Amino acid sequence: MITLDAHLAAGRGRDAAALGALVRAMAAAGVKIADELARAALIGQLGTTGETNVQGEKVKKLDVWANDAVVAALDATGRACTLVSEEMEEIRHRPEQCAGAGFVVCFDPVDGSSNLDVNGTVGTIFSLRPSRGWDPAGPAALGSGKEQIAAGYVMYGPATTLVYTAGSGTHGFTMDRATGEFFLTHPDIRIPKKGKVYGINEGNISTWHPGQRAFVEYLRTPDKASGRPYSLRYSGAMVADVHRTLLDGGLFMYPADMRDPAKPKGKLRLLYEVAPMAMVVEQAGGRASTGTERVLDVKASEYHQRAAIIVGSPDDVALAEEFYRR
Ligand code: FDP
């Protein structure tokens, strides 16, 4: 079986070596995080630190620990010019790591933190953009999600899985727990054109756009010919819900809160959740939309900007967009 190392070594393009080093670093951090998660209840690593972050959320011990693990692994590559993390209010810019093929790495060390204390699935999401000519003074210079040259995630479930794309297909690897080595188990993933499952937090229904409400109502309405009703699955961790959607088809949605229609509010973060997952799914033949535009066209104006996402099978996402237009 092909290892992640061999797969990355076969990468082409002028930044392939640096890109390979950074994806390997994410895998190395993933091995450590998987181990820490498995022991967390035994070594006092569950629960919160007692601090509250800028978003007013309680900081979990494992969020901080995993952030440090990812930063250390990326730093060791010498290519991590700028780091943008969900767990760091400020970006971390290291000019000495920007020479040649330096990268902006955006990451969420533990996605789905609310699952941590209940032994649920969580993940780590990452996105790489070239730092060439980038002005660290402003996120606008990052451009849209189309500037990403690689993106992926590690999922800590019954098995630890790494899925990544460097712009030519989406590939899945499974970690051998005995050695920490990742093997290619899901080469060139192709998402089904249409699915049978949708994932969304329906508790938020009163805040949705009318098109979103009508679309979910449509998915729930029986009609044999079009394969309805769809089933609902929602894990509370974007990584787990997107992974299921990637393999089985259907939709994962976190739409905007439209209580003030003039100010739609997404929940998930554009740079290290929404844009990377959009690239991963598009590279597998899927689509990702905010409901009204392609996710990868959205430009960041803030590092911790939030955005809506409807991601999954191409026919299902296209239909969702149609409901938003009605
Ligand atoms: P969490 O807040 O637990 O870290 O990253 C945000 C995220 O999890 C996603 O992983 C998940 O899909 C979503 O939020 C869950 O939010 P709700 O609890 O509002 O459904």
pLDDT band at 100 (very low <50, low <70, confident <90, very high): confident
**pLDDT score, position 267:** 97
301 lines ligand 1 (CB under 6 A): no
Return the HEC string of 231-281: EECCCCCHHHHHHHHHHHCCEEEECCECCCCCCCECCCEHHHHHHHHHHHH
- Given its phi and psi angles, is residue 135 left (phi above 0), alpha (psi -120 to 50 degrees) or beta? beta
309 lines ligand 1 (CB under 6 A): no
**pLDDT score, position 205:** 98
Q: What is the pLDDT of residues 154-205, one digit of tens each?
A: 999 999 999 999 999 999 999 999 999 999 999 999 999 999 999 999 999 9
**pLDDT score, position 96:** 87
User: Is the pLDDT score of 137 beyond 70?
Assistant: no
Element (H, E) at 68: helix 61-75
Closest residue to atom 20 of ligand 1, CA basis: 201
311 lines ligand 1 (CB under 6 A): no
266 lines ligand 1 (CB under 6 A): no
**pLDDT score, position 56:** 79
Q: pTM score > 0.85 for this model?
A: yes
**pLDDT score, position 14:** 77
d(CA 152, CA 107): 10
d(CA 296, CA 146): 5
238 lines ligand 1 (CB under 6 A): yes
ω into residue 261 within 30 of 0, thus cis?
A: no
pLDDT band at 304 (very low <50, low <70, confident <90, very high): very high
Check if the beta carbon of residue 124 is closer than 8 Å to that of residue 18: no
87 lines ligand 1 (CB under 6 A): no
Q: Which residues contact 224 (CB under 8 A, 6 or more apart)?
A: none
User: Is the pLDDT score of 142 beyond 90?
Assistant: no
User: Is the pLDDT score of 133 beyond 60?
Assistant: no
Distance from Cα 63 to the centre of ligand 1, integer Å = 13
Strand ranges in the chain using DSSP code E only, listed in sequence order = 48-52, 58-60, 80-85, 92-93, 103-111, 122-130, 150-156, 160-165, 170-176, 181-186, 197-199, 231-232, 251-254, 287-289, 309-312
Closest residue to atom 16 of ligand 1, CA basis: 236
